[in-house]
Amino acid sequence: RKEVEQDPGPFNVPEGATVAFNCTYSNSASQSFFWYRQDCRKEPKLLMSVYSSGNEDGRFTAQLNRASQYISLLIRDSKLSDSATYLCVAFTDYKLSFGAGTTVTVRA
Amino acid sequence: GAGVSQSPSNKVTEKGKDVELRCDPISGHTALYWYRQSLGQGLEFLIYFQGNSAPDKSGLPSDRFSAERTGGSVSTLTIQRTQQEDSAVYLCASSSDPGTGYGYTFGSGTRLTVV
């Protein structure tokens, strides 16, 4: 079983729309969680950390539910520049474990 | 340097040949990681270095794969007798704080194609 499972999408949304997607993780000992963004043929870059209390970074909201081992990301007022693959990441001990990614395409 | 540097950026090799991939981490970062990303897949962990030692090599797919790190800095990933299934993007990351998950920086990767 993969450590992090994600809905691959793709999510195809118009500009201005809200899009939400999630992932689950299998290791209850995982200590911290992140969303990374990966553009086509580029390296992953940190988008934001995820906390149980929920956190926002501009148009992005992330939430962690430790009881159900579930992580979500919501993007409000989507921009064309939000088109990318979003990677759900769990950190355990010293290692980042990545989901396969959710592809989001924002259309004009 | 300012970021994690990997070379070459692209490598095409014939099946059966050996290849060496290089990673130059951010200066002062003690932790270094190699990951592999096949087409349409997530990142697959290969190996973790803390300084020059590798406490976790569990992700190396076979004994054809090896890695070393010298001087607590540059790392080389070597693949012997390459196979077509080795074709992937090999990503290196370094971190100054491997105990938290924060502060990871990835290089732009080496795209390996085995023909």
pLDDT digits (tens, 9 = 90+) for B2-56: 799 999 999 999 999 999 999 999 999 999 999 999 987 889 999 999 999 999 9
Q: pLDDT class for B1, splitting at 50, 70, 90?
A: low
Give the phi and the psi of residue B79 in degrees, each rounded to 5. -120, 120
Of the candidates A86, A106, A82, the residue with the CA atom closest to the CA atom of residue A98: A86
Spatial separation of the C-alpha atoms in residues B101 and A89, rounded to whole Å: 10
B84 pLDDT band, cuts 50/70/90, is: very high
Nearest by CB to residue A43, choosing from B41, B98, B107, is B107
In this complex, is the C-beta atom of B74 within 8 Å of any C-beta atom belonging to chain A?
A: no
- CB-based contacts of B93: which residues, under 8 Å, 6+ apart? A96, B4, B32, B33, B35, B104, B105, B106, B107
Chain A residues whose CB is inside 8 A of the B107 CB are: 43
**Mutation target vs A (from B58, B104, B111; most A CBs, 10 A cutoff):** B104
- Whether pLDDT at B67 is above 90: yes
Q: Which residues of B touch A32 (CB under 8 A)?
A: 100-102
List strands edge to edge, sheet with A19-25.
A4-6, A19-25, A70-75, A60-65, A55-57
Higher pLDDT, A103 or A8: A103
> Considering only CB atoms, which chain B residues are within 8 Å of A42?
108
Q: What residues in A contact B112, CB-CB < 8 Å? A: none
Residue A64 confidence (pLDDT) = 96
**Each residue of A23-45: pLDDT tens digit?**
999 999 999 999 999 999 999 99
- Res. A9 pLDDT band, cuts 50 70 90: confident
Q: What pLDDT is attached to residue A7?
A: 87
Average pLDDT of chain A is 95
Sorting pLDDT into bands at 50, 70 and 90, what band is A12? very high
Mean pLDDT of chain B: 95
pLDDT of residue A8: 87
Q: Given CB atoms, is A27 within the 8 Å cutoff of chain B?
A: no
The DSSP letter of residue A44 is -
Interface test with B, best of A64, A94, A98, A102 (most B CBs within 10 A): A94
A91 close to B (CB below 8 A): yes
pLDDT over 70, % of chain B: 99
pLDDT of residue B98: 84
pLDDT tens-digit series, residues A69-97:
999 999 999 999 999 999 999 999 899 99
